[in-house]
Structure 1
Amino acid sequence: MRYDVIVIGASAGGLTAAIAAKRFYPDKSVLVIKKEDVGMVPCGIPYVFGTFESVDDDILPVERFLEPLGVEVLVDEVLEIDPKGKVVRTKAGREIAWEKLVIATGSKPVFPSVPGSELEGVHTVPKDYHYLKALREKIKEAERIVIVGGGFIALEVGDEIRKLGKDVTLLVRSRLLRNSFDPEFSGMVEERLRERGINVVYGQVEALVGDGKVERVRLVDGRELPADLVIFSIGYRPNVELAVKTGLKVTRYGIWTDEYMRTSHPDIFAVGDCVEHRDFFTGKPYGLMLASTATFEARIAGANLFKLQIVRENRRTIGVYSTNVAGLTLAAAGLTEEAAKREGFEVIVGYGKGPDRHPAKFPDTSMVTVKLIFSRDRGAILGAQIAGGKSVGEMINILALAIQKRLTASELYTLQIATHPLLTASPVGYQILQAAEDALAKLRT
Structure 2
Amino acid sequence: MKYDVVVVGASAGGITTALAAKRFYPDKSVLVIKKEDVGIISCGIPYVFGTLKSIDEDLIPLDMFFKPAGIDVLVDEATHIDPKTKLVRTRGGEEVRWEKLVIATGSRPVIPEVPGFDLDGVYTIPKDYEYLKKLKERVKEAENVVIIGGGFIALEVGDEIRKLGKDVTLVVRSRLLRSSFDPEFSEMVESRLREVGVDIVYGHIERLAGEQRVEKVRLVGGTELPADLVIFSIGYRPNVELAVKAGLKVTRYGIWTDEYMRTSHPDIFAVGDCVEHRDFFTGKPYTLMLASTATFEARIAGANLFRLQIVRENRRTIGVYATHVAGLTLAAAGLTEEAARKEGFEVIVGYGKAPDRHPAVFPGTSMITAKLIFSRDRGAILGAQIAGGKSVGEMINILALAIQKRLTASELYTLQIATHPLLTASPVAYPILQAAEDALAKLRT
**TM-score w.r.t. length of structure 2:** 0.99
Aligned partners of 2:185, 2:114: CA distance in 1, in Å? 31
Give 3-state SS (helix, strand or coil) of 1:186's partner. helix
Q: How many residues are matched?
A: 445
> Structure 2: 5+ residue runs without aligned partners?
none
CA positional deviation for 1:316: 1.2
Aligned partners of 2:359, 2:49: CA distance in 1, in Å? 37
Given that residues 303 and 312 in structure 2 are in contact (C-alpha distance below 8 angstroms), is that contact kept between their aligned partners in structure 1? no
AA matched with 2:6: I
User: Which residue number in structure 2 is paired with residue 418 of structure 1?
Assistant: 418
CA positional deviation for 1:310: 5.0
User: Which residue number in structure 2 is paired with residue 371 of structure 1?
Assistant: 371
Given that residues 303 and 310 in structure 1 are in contact (C-alpha distance below 8 angstroms), is that contact kept between their aligned partners in structure 2? no
User: Which residue number in structure 2 is paired with residue 127 of structure 1?
Assistant: 127
Aligned partners of 2:426, 2:96: CA distance in 1, in Å? 58
AA matched with 2:399: L
Aligned partners of 1:422, 1:63: CA distance in 2, in Å? 37
**Is 1:308 matched with 2:318?**
no
Q: Give per-residue Cα distances to partners, 1:249-306, cap 9 Å, x unaligned.
A: 0001100000000000000000000001111111112323100110010010001100
User: Which residue number in structure 2 is paired with residue 39 of structure 1?
Assistant: 39
Aligned partners of 1:114, 1:422: CA distance in 2, in Å? 51
Aligned partners of 2:94, 2:101: CA distance in 1, in Å? 16
User: Which residue number in structure 2 is paired with residue 29 of structure 1?
Assistant: 29
User: Which residue number in structure 1 is paired with residue 62 of structure 2?
Assistant: 62
CA positional deviation for 1:104: 0.1
CA positional deviation for 1:313: 4.9
Q: Give per-residue Cα distances to partners, 1:5-34, cap 9 Å, x unaligned.
A: 000000000000000001111111100000
**Is 1:149 matched with 2:149?**
yes
**Is 1:286 matched with 2:301?**
no
AA matched with 2:286: Y
User: Which residue number in structure 2 is paired with residue 87 of structure 1?
Assistant: 87
Give 3-state SS (helix, strand or coil) of 1:440's partner. helix
AA matched with 1:138: R
Aligned partners of 2:64, 2:295: CA distance in 1, in Å? 17
User: Which residue number in structure 1 is paired with residue 334 of structure 2?
Assistant: 334
CA positional deviation for 1:382: 0.3
Given that residues 260 and 313 in structure 2 are in contact (C-alpha distance below 8 angstroms), is that contact kept between their aligned partners in structure 1? no
Aligned partners of 2:285, 2:53: CA distance in 1, in Å? 40
Aligned partners of 2:71, 2:320: CA distance in 1, in Å? 30
Matches of residues 121-270 of structure 1 in structure 2 within 5 Å?
121-270=121-270
**TM-score w.r.t. length of structure 1:** 0.99
CA positional deviation for 1:113: 1.4
Q: Give per-residue Cα distances to partners, 1:124-175, cap 9 Å, x unaligned.
A: 0000011101100000000000000000100000000010000000000000
Aligned partners of 2:2, 2:314: CA distance in 1, in Å? 33
Given that residues 109 and 126 in structure 1 are in contact (C-alpha distance below 8 angstroms), is that contact kept between their aligned partners in structure 2? yes
**Is 1:296 matched with 2:296?**
yes
Aligned partners of 2:36, 2:287: CA distance in 1, in Å? 24
Given that residues 258 and 315 in structure 1 are in contact (C-alpha distance below 8 angstroms), is that contact kept between their aligned partners in structure 2? no
Aligned partners of 1:71, 1:430: CA distance in 2, in Å? 44
AA matched with 2:395: M
Give 3-state SS (helix, strand or coil) of 2:417's partner. coil
**Is 1:49 matched with 2:39?**
no
- Aligned CA-pair RMSD: 0.7
CA positional deviation for 1:308: 1.2
Given that residues 425 and 431 in structure 1 are in contact (C-alpha distance below 8 angstroms), is that contact kept between their aligned partners in structure 2? yes
